[in-house]
Amino acid sequence: MPTAQALRQSFVRTFGDQNRKIALTRSPGRINVIGEHTDYNEGFVLPAAVNRAVWVAAQRRMDTKVNVYSATVEEKIEFDLKTMRKDPDHGWANYPKAVLHTLQNRGWKLEGLNIYLESEVPMGGGMSSSAALECAVAWAAMALFPYTLDRLSVVKACQRAENTFVGVNCGIMDQYASVFGRKGHALFLDCRTLQCQPVPLPLETHRLLVIDSMVKRKLVAGEYNKRREQCAEAVKGLKTAFPKVKALRDLEEADLAKALPLLPPLIAKRTEHVVRECARVKSAVAALGKGDLRALGALLNSSHESLKSLYEVSCPELDLLVGTAQRTKGVLGARMMGGGFGGCAIALVETPAIDLVKREVARIYQHRFGTTPPFHEVEAADGTSELSV
């Protein structure tokens, strides 16, 4: 975690100019306690910003060129604001491009930029490094140009950037959690109304452990977008019998017995996951309100089984991480987290058992896949901000 001063010094070493204003911003990654693939179904989610962030230092240029250097991947890319195109060979760089492209489409008259970035958020690991990068760049642009957006407008602009430029038809949860995060709290978010209730995470005696499978997700490749299409197909199939269902969040668990036989088997599986996952989010909020972490852990377990068997977005590596954690003493519950097809798992662990869980998971994963997964103990943190030296 760099200090603001260290971030500024890194920028100056990279680009040389310290006389003009350098904007410094940070935007956190996020975990999702529960509520997977419900956001784009206008449902409920329970994310939290975490104490792992993307850090950006940026400065205006006198032309329309943009130079972006990532200290994380040790790579520099250059492009022109007048001719921005998605670049399949430098995937990480499409996210700052996407944000600048979207801001220009809002009518912002931008000049070129030099951008330096560092990331503590695992790339492709289910902690939403892309949303963190997008929001940090948007915040830097606001600091350097005479335009202002409120926090919700930043969220919507960054989501639009990922949808339209990058080509990932993501919901709004990732950007929302990154911008609106609150230390010590998860966010109970209704993805239709965007009403949000901070929910305290009573973790004095427990930890949230994120375990990286190191399998990089390929959401842009199509499976994520395919799930969205399947959910839309479900809504169409239910229209006659359930005219009030505008999105799958409108279907209640009690309706499933009648609704599922109306759908093709595969679409029925997707529907059941979304409907029951929305219900699990509400149950998780209730459990946290009572400080019942064992109930929360059981919900995590059932969420993973649903994501694995009904929504079919897990993979052997994630299943091994989750299954091993669930069988280890001191773990209350575990599940895959994020879009799926790789990325991270999350486990709710009694604090004294953290080292045991790490050893056991590392031992079995190493034996099966020949590598040791990284572990991240995370805490809920505040959202996107500008830094001052």
> CA torsion 123→127→129→132, rounded to 10°?
-170
Whether the CA torsion 33, 35, 36, 37 is positive or negative: it is negative
Closest CA to 46 of 195, 154, 199, 246: 199
Which residues lie across from 28 on neighbouring strands? 53
To the query of whether residue 89 is one of the catalytic residues in this protein, the response is no
CA–CA dist 36, 41 (Å, integer): 10
* Cβ–Cβ < 8 Å for 281, 33: no
CB atoms within 10 A of CB 207: 18
CA–CA dist 111, 86 (Å, integer): 19
CA–CA dist 103, 157 (Å, integer): 7
CA–CA dist 336, 81 (Å, integer): 38
Label residue 61 exposed, middle or buried (CB < 10 Å: 0-12, 13-18, 19+).
Answer: middle
The angle subtended at Cα 194 by Cα 191 and Cα 196, nearest 5°, is 105
CA–CA dist 347, 327 (Å, integer): 11
Exactly one of 39, 174, 212, 250 is catalytic; name it.
Answer: 174
Q: Which residues contact 69 (CB under 8 A, 6 or more apart)?
A: 14, 15, 75, 76, 115, 116, 117
* Catalytic positions: 174
